[in-house]
Amino acid sequence: MMDKNTYQTMLQGLIWTFMEKEKVLGIPGAEKDVLTLLDLIEDLEAFWNTDGSLNPEKTMLQKLIYKTRKLYGDGRWRKMERFYLQKYCDRCSGSLEGGRIMSMFNEDCLCMSCQEKETKDPEYSKAVEADHDEIKRGNYNYKGIRGK
Ligand SMILES: [Zn+2]
């Protein structure tokens, strides 16, 4: 029979494992392992702790799982990874060796000469303003006035 201490120690061990993996491997490297561990934790909770008697922190644990899944699942890190790893400009297909910057109009990754051209667009200041407004409101995922 599973007792409270054993159960909570086991859960804690699994939680520490996924947190440590994330720290050591980073989100892209840890993704698969962390999601496997979350599945395992959910399985254990469903099997052993349906009434909350072995782990009274049931709700807190569910929140942690939800938040972690969201972080891994919404693909935000993937977008940034793509931005930093891609070799060619989204607009002109030129090399990004001279530097890269995100477009003010959408989420394109631009070379410096396309960025320069963008600043001459009649709507450029409108795009910058919209971007700053969204950030001020706490929205760091704004896709731009021409974003999809
Ligand atoms: Zn370009």
Token pair 């959910």: residue: 42
Range of the domain at 23: 4-79
At 37, the pLDDT band (50, 70, 90 cuts) reads very high
Q: Are residues 92 and 40 in the same domain?
A: no
Stated length of the chain: 148
Based on the structure, what is the number of domains in the chain?
2
Q: Is 54 helix (H, G, I), strand (E, B) or coil?
A: coil
Higher pLDDT, 2 or 10: 10
More confident residue, 138 or 110: 110
Of 42, 63, 79, the position where a domain reaches its end is: 79
* Predicted local distance difference test score (pLDDT) of residue 94: 96
Alpha carbon distance 56, 139 (integer Å): 35
Cα of 108 vs centre of ligand 1, distance in Å, is 10
Say how many Å lie between the CA of residue 100 and the centre of ligand 1. Answer: 9
89 Cα: distance to centroid of ligand 1 (angstroms) = 5
For residues 74 and 92, state if they share a domain.
no
- Is 141 part of any domain? no
Using CA atoms, how far apart are residues 58 and 49, in angstroms rounded to an integer? 8
For residues 60 and 113, state if they share a domain.
Answer: no
Q: How many angstroms separate the CA atoms of 28 and 1, rounded?
A: 38
Give the Å distance between the CA of 97 and the centre of ligand 1.
Answer: 11
State the amino acid at position 57 in one-letter form. E
Q: How far is the CA of 4 from the centre of ligand 1 (A)?
A: 60
- pTM value is 0.52
Q: What is the distance in A from the centroid of ligand 1 to the CA of 71?
A: 31
Using the mean position of ligand 1's atoms as its centre, give its distance from the Cα of residue 113 in Å: 6
Strand partners, 88: 95
User: Would residue 142 count as lying in a domain?
Assistant: no
Q: What is the pLDDT of residue 6?
A: 95
pLDDT, average across residues 109-119: 95
- What is the per-residue pLDDT for 63? 87
Paired with 101 in beta bridges are: 110
